[in-house]
Amino acid sequence: MKPNTTHEEYDEHYPEWEVMEDVLEGEDKVHKEGQTYLPKLTGQTIDEYNAYVMRAPFYNATARTVDGLVGMIFRKAPTISAPAGMQNIVDDMTLDNTGLDELAEQITRELVGIGRMGILVEYPKVEQTPATLAEFAQQNLRPYVTKYEAEQIINWRMERINNVMQPVMIALKEEILEYVNEFESEEIEQIRVLLLREGVYMQEVYREIKNQRGDKEWVVVETIVPTMRGQTINAIPFICMNARGVYMSPDKPPMYDLATLNLSHYRTTADLEHGAHFTGLPTAVVSGYTKENENDVFRIGSSSAWIFPDPSANAKYLEFTGQGLDTLRNIKKDKEDNLAILGARMLAPEKKQSEAADTVRMRHAGDGAILSAITNAVSQGLNKALQIIADWEGTEPATISLNEDYLDSPLNAQDLQALVQAWQQGAISDQTLFYNLKVGEIMDEYVTFDEEQSRIANQPPRLSA
C-alpha cells in the first residue's frame, strides 16, 4: 500500500472540507471556482458567463458567523495556569512565537469552520545531547507542537492496546520548501507516517523519487525513533480534535449546512442580478423605419434627436413587467432568513424591543451547544498535549480552560442586591460572592480573590455619613 493512500472516511469528508475552505476564503475564491458553484446558463458564451459571475456578489454569511462564534468564545481570555518550568513553552508552543492562547484560538477557528485539526507533540532532533541545562536553553531544546489541518491527516489505523483504542498508524501529508539556491525554492510533498511498532513510537518520512528506470516511487528518506528522557515512547503523541471532542474520525463540519445554503443564496443572487441587469437598462425599440445606412447610430439623451422620414414610424422603450424578479427577491429573502436561523444572526435585523435575558439565551441555545462541544474539545486536546510536554520536561503540566460564558450577561441591579443580601446573611462565603461578581462582569476577570482582599485592606477609610 502506498503511503499516500487515504482513509475511506477522509475520502467521504474531503469534498465538504473543500467547500468550507472555498466559502470561508470569500468572494474571490467562489468566483474563481466558476461553474463549481454557479452553473453556466444555457447558451451563454464564455464572455457572457464571466460577466454573469462578476455581477453576482457573494455575501459571506458563513465567514461572518465563524468570526462571531469564535468571538463569543474568546470574548474572555482562556484561563491558563503554568508552573515556572513551563512558562517559556506556554509563551511559544510552536517555535514560531505562537503562545498557548493564540494556538487555542487557531484550533477553535479551525474546528468551528472546518471541523477537524490535529497537533503533534515533537522534540527537536539533536546530533549530540548537550551536557548542561544552559546548553539546552541556548539551543532551545524543548518540546513543541506542530499543527495539521483536516486535509493533511490522510490516513489512520486504530487498535485496542491494553484495553484502550488508540492509533497505531497516522499518515500526515506535508509540503516543505527546499532551496535550489540562495534565492529559489521548490515545494516538495512528503508523507510523514507515525507508527507504533511493538510498543515503540517511530516516524517514517516518505518522498516520491525517480528510480533507475525513471519512474517515480515512494521511498523512505528518513526514519526517526523519538525518545523521552532517554526512553522510547509507547504511544503516538498526536491529538486529533473535531467538533465533538478528541477523536480520530472526522465529522461533517458544523457550519457545512450554512455554507451550502450560503452558496444557494449566491446562485439566487446571481440570477436576480442577471435579470435586473437586462430588464433594468433602457432598451429602445423603433418601428416603421429601415436604416438607409448601416452606420446610422441612434444616440439616447436630450442632446440627440431622432428624425424619421416616414411619419408613421414610432419609437419607444421596452418596459419590464411581471413578477419574475419579485419571485427571485422573495426566494433570496427566504434564504437570508434561513441563514439567520442556521447561525448567521448578523443577517437578521436586530429586534427593536428589549428582550428578557432568558429569551436571549433561548435564542442562542443552539449556538451554545455547538460552542460548548468545541471549547471542551480544544481544552481537552490542548491539556493532553501539555501533559505530554510536561512528561518530556519532567515537570508539572500547564493547563488551559476556554471560556464557556458566551453571552454578555452582566448582573442586573436586582440580582446584585439579592447576591449581596445572601452574603450579608452568611448564606454564601466571601469567595462565592467574589466568584459571582466576576462571572456577572461586575469585577475585572483578571483580578484574583487575594488581590481583591489586599485592595480592600489597603484602601483608605471611608467617610461616615
> Can you give the pTM of this predicted structure?
0.77
pLDDT over 80 (residue 3) = yes
How many angstroms from the chain centroid is the CA of residue 84? 32
Q: Which of 393, 394, 390 is nearest to 141 (CA)?
A: 393
Output the nine-digit C-alpha cell for 380.
481537552
pLDDT over 70 (residue 126) = no
Kindly state whether residue 356 falls inside one of the protein's structural domains.
no
Percent of the chain with pLDDT over 90: 46
**pLDDT for the residue 345:** 47
Kindly state whether residue 360 falls inside one of the protein's structural domains.
no
- The count of other CB atoms within 10 Å of the CB of residue 47 is 8
The more confidently predicted of residues 372 and 9 is 9
Q: In what order do the strands lie in the sheet with 185-197?
A: 153-161, 164-179, 185-197, 200-210, 216-224
Domain count, the chain: 1
The more confidently predicted of residues 173 and 2 is 173
Structural domain including 440 reads: 411-460
User: DSSP character for 464?
Assistant: P
Burial class (CB in 10 A: 0-12, 13-18, 19+), 428: middle
C-alpha dihedral, 147 to 77 to 142 to 237, nearest 10°: -40
**pLDDT for the residue 350:** 42
Which of the listed ranges 120-124, 200-204, 404-408 does the model predict with the highest average pLDDT?
Answer: 200-204
pLDDT over 50 (residue 347) = no
CB 243 within 8 A of CB 111: yes
Kindly state whether residue 436 falls inside one of the protein's structural domains.
yes
Kindly state whether residue 118 falls inside one of the protein's structural domains.
no
Give the span between the Cα atoms of 242 and 159, in whole angstroms: 20
Could you tell me which residues are beta bridge partners of residue 217?
A: 209
**pLDDT for the residue 368:** 59
CB 143 within 8 A of CB 393: yes
Output the nine-digit C-alpha cell for 356.
428578557
Burial class (CB in 10 A: 0-12, 13-18, 19+), 370: middle
- The count of other CB atoms within 10 Å of the CB of residue 444 is 11
Give the span between the Cα atoms of 150 and 118, in whole angstroms: 7
